[in-house]
């Protein structure tokens, strides 16, 4: 079983749509959680960290459910510029090194 799993995608949505990505992780001791964005043939960049209380950054909302070992990312009012692959990343150690990456979910926002 993969340590971090994501919706396989791709997601093709029209501009203005709301889209949700799901991610599950297998290590219940995982400490911190992130969503990264990766444009085609580019490096990943941090989109947002995910906190237990949930957090929002503009049109983006991230949720964490530790009991279910589940992370989500909601994008409201999708823009063409949101087209990218979204990577779920879990750090299994608080100050250590074990960033585990999910395979990513590709999003295409269509005009």
Partner 1 sequence: DADVTQTPRNRITKTGKRIMLECSQTKGHDRMYWYRQDPGLGLRLIYYSFDVKDINKGEISDGYSVSRQAQAKFSLSLESAIPNQTALYFCATSDLNVGQSYTGELFFGEGSRLTVL
Can you give the binding site for partner 1, defined by CB under 8 A?
A: 4, 32, 34, 36, 41-46, 49, 87, 89, 91, 95, 97, 99, 101-104
Nearer to partner 1, 78 or 86 (CB): 86
Contact 52, 1 (CB under 8 A): no
Complex with partner 1: residue 49 or 69, whichever CB lies closer: 49
Nearer to partner 1, 75 or 88 (CB): 88
Minimum CB distance to partner 1, residue 12 (Å): 18
The least distance separating partner 1 from the CB of residue 51, rounded to whole angstroms, comes to: 11
- Bridge-partner residues for 21, per DSSP? 73
Total residue count of the chain as it appears in this document: 111
∠ CA(46), CA(78), CA(83), 5° rounding? 55
Question: Which tokens is 95 given?
Answer: 């100050």
Chain centroid offset of residue 35 CA: 4
């Amino acid at each position: 079983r993969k340590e971090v799993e994501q919706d396989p995608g791709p997601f093709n949505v029209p501009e203005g749509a709301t889209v949700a990505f799901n991610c599950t992780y297998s290590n219940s001791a995982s400490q911190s959680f992130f969503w990264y964005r990766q444009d085609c043939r580019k490096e990943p960049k941090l989109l947002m960290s995910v906190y237990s209380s949930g957090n929002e950054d503009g049109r983006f909302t991230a949720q964490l459910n530790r009991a279910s070992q589940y992370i989500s990312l909601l994008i409201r009012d999708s823009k063409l510029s949101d087209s990218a692959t979204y990577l779920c990343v879990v750090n299994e150690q608080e100050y250590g090194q074990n960033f585990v990456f999910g395979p990513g979910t590709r999003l295409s926002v269509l005009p």
